[in-house]
Amino acid sequence: MTTVINTIGNEAHKRAPAKGSGPSPAGGQPGGLYKKREPIYPKLVHGKWRTIKWLVLIATLGVYYLLPWFRWDRGPSAPSQAVLVDFTHARFYFFFIQLWPQEVYYFTGLLVVAALAMFLVTALFGRLWCGYACPQTVWTDLFIVAERLFEGDRNARMKLDAAPWSFDKAWRKTGKHAVWLAISLATGGAWIFYFHDAPTLMKQLFVGQAPMTAYASAAILTFTTYSLAGTMREQVCTYMCPWPRIQGAMLDDHSLQVTYRVDRGEPRGAHKKGTGWEGRGDCVDCTQCVVVCPMGIDIRDGSQMECINCGLCIDACDDIMTKVGRPRGLIAFDTDAAVLAREEGRKPDYKFIRPRTLYYGVTLAVVSGIMLYGLLTRSPLALDVIRDRNPTFVRLSDGDIRNGYTLKLMNRSNAPATYRISFSGVDGARLKAVGAPMEGDSIDVALGPDGQRSLQVFVTAPAPQDERHSTPALFKINSPAGEAVKKTVFLSGDEGHGDEER
Amino acid sequence: MSGSRERDEHSGVETTGHEWDGIKELDNPLPRWWLWIFYATIAFSVGYWVLMPAWPGIHGYTHGMLGNSARATVAQDLKDLATQRGAAGAALKTASLQQIEADPKLQSYALSVGQSVFADNCAPCHGQSGTGAKGYPNLRDDVWLWGGKLEDIQHTITVGVRSGDPDQRFSQMPAFGRDGMLQPAQVNDLTEYVTALSHRTADAAAVARAAPVFAQQCAACHGADGKGNQAFGAPNLTDADWLYGADRVSIHDQIWNGHGGVMPAWGHRFDPATIKALAVYIHVKSGGGQ
């Protein structure tokens, strides 16, 4: 800790200019800018909320690690992986859904839905996401399990850290870090399976034939998992994550949050067995709520930014309350309004339907509805029409006008299909495409399953007699699976104009 | 100053002796991070000398321990490119022009190759989109001086026009007026005749006077009916397309001076596969000429 910043006015400078080693005055005292982390040793707790947390942990991690291994038959044209982000072929597969790059708006929609759902849940129940489902929370929890396995629970860990280095300490620490790294590697490894056929990639990984990006991604994810869940933990939530700050804006007095019921607990103090409870609160100041907290906070100080609403302090407190023979729920999911009401001797009422929750709920329903409608009515065939802009039109030797269009045809289904392209809106228009068979006044294009083709189509028509230079027109494709229509225009110029130049 | 340097009383740092408007410059050292990066660049450059080609000498240059060579890198890049293009690139060599055009995948590959080659080599004369200019044929319409079939286009690209290549396309429009082959009045009459050929109103008397002249002087190339002949690169005079202008002044100028353009023979520059791709590109973009 030397040479941080030459801060003018720092007392250290005046007392000790140039400390021999270098010309620069040793600037800044250790910890001048940052508070050193106080190690947190969360104690293992049992109870309702802890059980829910275990179940969520198993469910989320299970989904994460196993999902890429689910198979889904898509015929020979596509990989049979249920969830796959296929960058090479620019496709996204999710069970029965197959998305093309043109449909990224579904992802935008999904993000909006996710955000709204989070707003709603937060407004109703506080930071449930943070306490239960956030990857940072889940992996940290898992890492603490490994930590406990090697170093024991809170007291043992504290003792071990304070003890001088010994063989016992060394192997415990090494073992812990080895398991952490193994979990991290599995995490980073699982990530890349989402981007490639999992069984194939698994083989390639072990024989060293996987793409460099796969190894690099796995390495990066391994490193971030290890450092975030292993060494940084609650600091991520407190200092790095923007959500706590944003989530605060969704909370109000009626949001259910982990709450120390001051009205019941105070005045707190140690309680001797056999003495009465009159004239004092139920809190026996055992600090069990503090020692189990993974964020290292004291919930009795009131609701605070660091609290992730995980409810472990509730389990710890309930346990103690049972032991001292008082009703459970001194710390519970409760609202600020309810605490205030009881303090004032009123009966608390819980308002779940409030303007805020109503707004979030309705918006969520609307956006989800639009998404669902879009997905259900999604056509397997798609057509894009791009007009030639240079030249906008060509005058042919017989005076007719010809326009060029690039048609992009997409077959988003698993079956081959023949699309019939027709053009309407211009009198006497004739279609032509190089390399595609003509059928009367339409063109037939065969597309394989999951196929696309871009086709140069020319439309020739007699020069219009009136002054009109831009005629609205329509491209239509028909197939057994339905039809798609795209509006366009047919352009023509002044009589004789253009010829003079050539 | 007098011997010992002045010290700033607030920070305890020596001053440099520079002073502007009463503000003295402190002699603070360079930031440590800056110095380390500086040292690192020095170390890097030493390593670079040793590993990479660096120093010129009398009989050559130092090659460096890695044996790196820009020429070898380019050769490798070209090899990699061929591998990358793989099947499509190989098929372009073997497939016929018609096969390339009929296969959607191959056609789209040829179009992308053709587009970039066209933009780099053909666009200066024929325009970015191939629409040409006065004296430079429009490649997007259905008018072809030397034929618009795939093979015709391929041949024209390969041998060029008046390019000096032994197999060149060659045509010549004589300068009837300038070289005194025809009288000025005859050129005027012919101008009316050609105007009439393209279905426009013209002086009937002049047309009648010019008819025998046309039959004698022009019909050999442009045909008795004026419809041209692609074997000689003689333009059709009856359609709406005019390479050197459609108005009377332009037509007169062309009969008097007899302009003719030049196109390089690209067979010396491009491999056959590239020329095939270019021919397909031009053919498709022109709407598949005949």
In single-letter form, the type of residue at position A380 comes to P
| 8 A C-beta contact, residue B134 and residue B246 | no
Q: Is B162 helix (H, G, I), strand (E, B) or coil?
A: coil
B246 touching chain A per CB within 8 A = yes
d(CA B230, CA A336): 92
Nearest CA in chain A to B285: A456
- Could you say which of A394, A434, A499 has the minimum Cβ distance to residue B246? A499
Closest CA to A75 of A448, A479, A454: A448
What span, in angstroms and rounded, lies between the C-alpha atoms of A116 and A110?
10
A5, A410, A444, A502: which to substitute to probe chain B, counting the most B Cβ within 10 Å? A502
| Cα distance between residue A56 and residue A132, in whole Å | 7
Dihedral over Cα of A376, A377, A383, A389: its sign: negative
Question: Per the structure block, which two tokens stand in for A330?
Answer: 């001194």
The answer to whether the CB of B264 falls within 8 A of the CB of B124 is: no
In angstroms, what separates the C-alpha of A17 from chain B's closest C-alpha? 6
Q: Which residue has the tokens 């074997």?
A: B231
pLDDT tier at B3, thresholds 50, 70, 90: low
Mutate to test the interface with A, among B105, B136, B138 (most CBs of A within 10 A): B138
DSSP single-letter state for residue A126: S
What is the per-residue pLDDT across B82-138, written as a single tens digit (0 to 9) for each? 888 777 788 888 999 999 988 888 998 999 999 999 999 999 999 998 989 999 999
Chain segment B58-85, per-residue pLDDT in tens: 988 888 888 888 898 999 998 888 888 7
- B99's CB contacts (< 8 A; 6+ apart) are B106
CB-based contact A8 B142, cutoff 8 Å? no
Nearest CA in chain A to B126: A502
Give the H or E element holding residue A389.
none
Contact B28 A396 (CB under 8 A): no
**Interface check B104 vs A, CB under 8 A:** yes
pLDDT band at B12 (very low <50, low <70, confident <90, very high): confident
CA atoms of A76 and A93, how far apart (whole Å): 15
Burial class (CB in 10 A: 0-12, 13-18, 19+), A407: buried
Per-residue pLDDT reduced to its tens digit, B247-286: 999 999 999 999 999 999 999 999 899 999 999 999 999 8
Q: Could you tell me which CATH class the domain B184-257 is placed in? A: mainly alpha
3 state DSSP class of B43: helix
| Residue range(s) in chain B whose domain bears CATH number 1.10.760.10 | 72-168+263-285, 184-257
Altogether, the residues listed in chain B come to a count of 290
Minimal C-alpha gap between A360 and chain B (Å)? 49
Residues sharing a CB contact under 8 Å with residue A372, sequence separation 6 or more, in sequence order: none
Whether B245 has its CB under 8 Å from any CB of chain A: the answer is: yes
Burial class of residue B199 in the structure, from the number of CB atoms within 10 Å of its CB (0-12 exposed, 13-18 middle, 19+ buried): exposed
* A25 interfaces chain B, CB cutoff of 8 Å: yes
Task: Work out whether the CA dihedral A206, A208, A209, A212 comes out positive or negative.
Answer: positive
Residues 6+ apart with CB under 8 A from A414: A74, A75, A77, A78, A449, A450
**From B129, B140, B236, residue closest to A397, measured CB to CB:** B236
Per residue of chain A (502 residues), give pLDDT as tens. 333 333 333 443 333 333 333 344 444 444 456 677 888 999 999 999 999 999 999 999 999 999 999 998 887 778 889 999 998 888 899 888 888 888 888 999 999 999 999 999 999 999 999 999 999 999 999 999 999 999 999 999 999 999 999 999 999 999 999 999 999 999 988 999 999 999 999 999 889 888 899 999 999 999 999 999 999 999 999 889 998 888 888 888 999 999 999 988 888 888 888 888 888 889 999 999 999 999 999 999 988 889 999 999 999 999 999 998 889 999 999 999 999 999 898 998 888 999 999 999 999 999 999 999 988 888 888 888 999 888 888 888 888 899 999 999 888 887 888 889 999 988 888 898 887 777 778 888 888 888 888 888 999 998 877 777 888 999 999 888 788 899 999 998 764 444 443 3
- Exposure class string for A252-273: b at 16+ Cβ within 10 A, else e: eebbbbbbbbbbbbeebeebee
Transcribe B47-76 into DSSP letters: HHHHHS---B-SSSB---TT---HHHHHHH
Decide: helix, strand or coil at residue B131: coil
**Taking CB atoms and an 8 Å limit, are B243 and A502 in contact across chains?**
yes
| Residues B289, B268: Cα–Cα separation, whole Å | 25
The residue of chain A nearest to residue B248, with distances taken between CA atoms, is A500
First-to-last C-alpha distance (Å) of chain B: 94
CB contact under 8 A, A435 and B101: yes
**Residue B83 has which token pair?**
């591998």
Q: Is B138 left (phi over 0), alpha (psi -120 to 50) or beta?
A: beta
Q: Give A-chain residues touching B34 at CB under 8 angstroms.
A: none
The shortest CB-CB distance from A391 to any of B140, B247, B288 is to: B140
In sequence order, which ranges of A6-74 are alpha helices (DSSP H)? 11-15, 48-66
Is there a contact between A13 and B11 if contact means CB atoms under 8 Å apart?
A: yes
* Token couple for A387: 């007009």
Looking at the complex, does the CB of residue B102 fall below 8 Å from at least one CB of chain A?
Answer: yes
State the pLDDT at residue A21.
38
- Please answer yes or no on whether A499 and B28 come within 8 Å at the CB atom: no
- Structural tokens at position A412: 């988003």
Q: Do A499 and B241 touch (CB under 8 A)?
A: yes
A466 touches chain B (CB under 8 A): no
Look at residue B119 in the predicted model and tell me its pLDDT.
95
Q: Which residue of A has its CA nearest to B109?
A: A454
User: Quick check: A132 and A49 in contact, CB under 8 A?
Assistant: no
- Using CB atoms, pick whichever of A8, A390, A502 lies closest to residue B242: A502
Which residues of chain B are within 8 Å of residue A435 when distances are taken between CB atoms?
Answer: 101-104, 107, 284
The three-point CA angle B249-B180-B135 to 5° equals 40
Quick check: B62 contacting A, CB < 8 Å? no
Closest CA to A116 of A370, A298, A296, A330: A370
In chain A, helix, strand, coil percent, each to 5? Answer: 40, 20, 40
Q: Which of residues 164-203 of B touch A (CB under 8 A)?
A: none
A8, B138: Cβ pair inside 8 Å?
no
CATH 2.60.40.10 in chain A is located at 381-501
H or E segment at A444?
strand A442-447
Q: State the pLDDT confidence band at B1, using cuts at 50, 70 and 90.
A: very low
Chain A hits for B261, CB-CB cut-off 8 Å, are none
Q: What are phi and psi of A91, to 5 degrees?
A: -135, 150
pLDDT digits (tens, 9 = 90+) for B195-246: 999 888 889 999 999 999 999 999 999 999 999 999 889 999 998 889 999 9
Nearest to A159 by CA among A44, A46, A45, A39: A39
At A229, is the secondary structure helix, strand, or coil?
Answer: helix
Interface contact A435-B104, CB threshold 8 A: yes
Closest CA to B193 of B272, B267, B255: B255
* Cβ-defined contact of A453 to B128 (cutoff 8 Å): no
Kindly list the residues from chain A whose CB atom is less than 8 angstroms away from the CB atom of residue B245: 500, 502
- What is d(CA B200, CA B270) in angstroms, rounded to the nearest whole number? 43
Query: How far apart, in whole angstroms, are the C-alpha atoms of residue B196 and residue A152?
Result: 106
Which helix (H) or strand (E) segment is B96 a member of?
none
Query: Residue B152: how many CB atoms within 10 A of its CB?
Result: 19
Enumerate the residues of chain B whose CB falls inside 8 A of the CB of residue A460. Answer: 287
Residue A370: what pLDDT?
Answer: 93
Q: How high is the pLDDT of residue A494?
A: 60
Give the number of beta-carbon pairs within 8 Å between A and B: 97
Binding residue positions of B for heme c: 122, 125-126, 173, 218, 221-222, 263
A314 close to A301: Cβ distance less than 8 angstroms: no
Do A81 and A72 touch, CB atoms closer than 8 A?
yes
Q: Which of A6, A399, A453 sits opposite B240 (nearest CB)?
A: A399
Q: Which chain A residues touch B241 with a CB distance below 8 Å?
A: 395, 397, 499, 502
Instruction: Estimate to the nearest angstrom the gap between the alpha carbon of A330 and the chain centroid.
Output: 35
Q: What's the CATH number of domain B72-168+263-285, 3.40.1360.10, 1.10.760.10, 3.10.110.10, 2.90.10.10?
A: 1.10.760.10
Q: How far is A32 from chain B (nearest CA, A)?
A: 18
Return the structure tokens found at B228.
Answer: 């041209």
User: Which residue's entry shows tokens 């620019």?
Assistant: A90
> CA of B259: how far to CAs of A171, B16, B231, in Å?
93, 78, 18
For residue A398, give the nearest of B28, B138, B240 by CB distance: B240
- Contact with chain A for residue B135, Cβ under 8 A: no
Any chain A CB within 8 A of the CB of B22? no
Q: How far apart are CA A343 and CA A353, in angstroms?
A: 23
Strand partners, B263: B161
Phi, psi angles (nearest 5°) of residue A98:
-130, 120
If we measure between CA atoms, which residue out of A129, A133, A103 comes closest to residue A116?
A: A129
- Residue type at position B290: Q
CATH of the domain spanning A381-501? 2.60.40.10
Which residue type sits at A478?
A: N
Q: Say how many Å lie between the first and final Cα of chain A, rounded.
A: 78
Chain A residue closest in CA terms to B7: A17
Q: What type of residue is B70? A: A
Return the pLDDT at B4: 67
- A391–B29 CB contact, under 8 Å: no
* Cβ contact B240–A3 (<8 Å): no
Phi and psi torsions of A184, nearest 5°: -60, -45
Q: How far, in Å, CA of B117 to CA of A127, rounded?
A: 59
